[in-house]
Amino acid sequence: MQNLKDLKEQVRKALPELDVVIGWTGGYDPLHATPHFIRRDEDIDKLQVNALCVHNLATYLPSMRGKKVGIIVKGCDSRSVVELLQEKLIDRENVTIFGFGCNGVVDQTKIRRIVGDVGNIESCEVSGSEVKVSASGTEHKLAMSDVLSDKCATCRYPNAVLSDHFAGDEVTTTATFEDGYKDVEEFEVKPEEEKFGFWLKEMDRCIRCYACRNACPMCVCRDHCVAQSRDPHWLSQEAHVRDKWMFQVIHAYHLAGRCTECGECQRACPVDIPILLFKKKMNKEIKDVFDYEAGINPDATPPLMTFKIDEDKITERKW
């Protein structure tokens, strides 16, 4: 990002008032960025903001409640922060939001599929339209459009929707709500048996690592998660596709009207199960019935936490 200097300056100014600022820095290899907790001035120099910074840092906020926390957010991450504020899981006065306009992040899975061996990455350079990766002695020039995350291709909120400090210029976008749900519509029209079979096959790969849950900024039950509760005993510990699938439906349903589609669940999945599809489907229907999108307005109430006596779009059954 060209305005990294501005951002660093803003963080430097705000840091004395804060316990920690959460950002990104270089990871274990040049291809990955990792969350970075800035506590001292010298940490600020390590700050990195580019297309490799995929993590949604809002995940850390609920567990840091009570501390003065600064957080650096992309557009989609800022929606998670807003949603957390809406649900009163974090306090506005304790959170300082550093926003910027995001041009999209890479999908590591796509890079892995093109490059093949990602075990030995020597260097990675990211420019606006290209990612240059050199791995095991070979150099790969990848077009940004080929490795961009799916969510970024149809992003409607590239700029932080709520911020105390904003670095650089705003990014413009022309994407509409409908653009973002073409994949859901394509999947929906398939015959019932095909969809049922598809999920049985996909869910069978799940190893129940719960990375999807842990990466999700809206999954705040933690130790009380129904997946591990014994009373009520929703899921057995069996490695059966029924339990794995059920868990994903639980996850989708607990996010109904709350999910901001940051895509962290799917990104964190080590076996690439397309679980974002469930959440997108739910959001599409929420938009249709309640004309509501999560994480836009800090004062709004998620639609399943309230009701109207006469619903606009729900019609009674005629028996």
Partner 1 sequence: MPILEGKELRIVGFLCNWCSYGGADTAGVGRFKQPTDLRVIKVPCSGRIDPLFIVKTLMAGADGVLVSGCHPRDCHYSEGNYYARRRLEMLKRFLPIMGIDPKRFDYTWVSASEGQRWQEVVTKFTEQIHELGAAPKIAGAEAEETLKLMEAAL
Query: Site mask, partner 1, residues 225-254, x = CB under 8 A?
Result: ---------x-x-x-xxx--xx--xx-xx-
| Residues 36, 46: Cα–Cα separation, whole Å | 8
Closest to 149 (Cα-Cα) out of 25, 288, 265, 281: 265
| Cα distances (Å, whole numbers) of residue 198 to 195, 212, 235, 271, 275 | 5, 19, 21, 15, 12
Q: Which of 23, 158, 263, 303 binds partner 1 (CB under 8 A)?
A: 303
Buried b (16+ CB within 10 A) or exposed e, 159-168: bbbbbebbbb
Backbone angles phi, psi at 109, to 5 degrees: -65, -40
Asked if 185 interacts with partner 1 (CB under 8 A), we say no
CB of 249 to partner 1, least distance (A): 5
Q: Which stretch binds partner 1 (CB under 8 A): 125-133, 171-179, 194-202, 208-216?
A: 194-202
In this structure, are residues 188 and 245 in contact, taking their beta carbons and an 8 Å threshold?
Answer: no
| Residues 138, 116: Cα–Cα separation, whole Å | 11
Q: Which of 42, 193, 223, 312 binds partner 1 (CB under 8 A)?
A: 193
In this structure, are residues 299 and 291 in contact, taking their beta carbons and an 8 Å threshold?
Answer: no
| Residues 319, 303: Cα–Cα separation, whole Å | 27
Query: Site mask, partner 1, residues 43-72, x = CB under 8 A?
Result: ------------------------------
Q: Which of 195, 201, 205, 208 binds partner 1 (CB under 8 A)?
A: 195
Q: Which of residues 252-271 bind partner 1 (CB under 8 A)?
A: 252-253, 256
Nearer CB in complex with partner 1: 100/278: 278
Residue ranges that bind partner 1, judged by CB under 8 A? 184, 187-188, 192-200, 234, 236, 238, 240-242, 245-246, 249-250, 252-253, 256, 277-278, 281-282, 285-286, 288-290, 303-304, 307-309, 311, 314, 316-317, 319
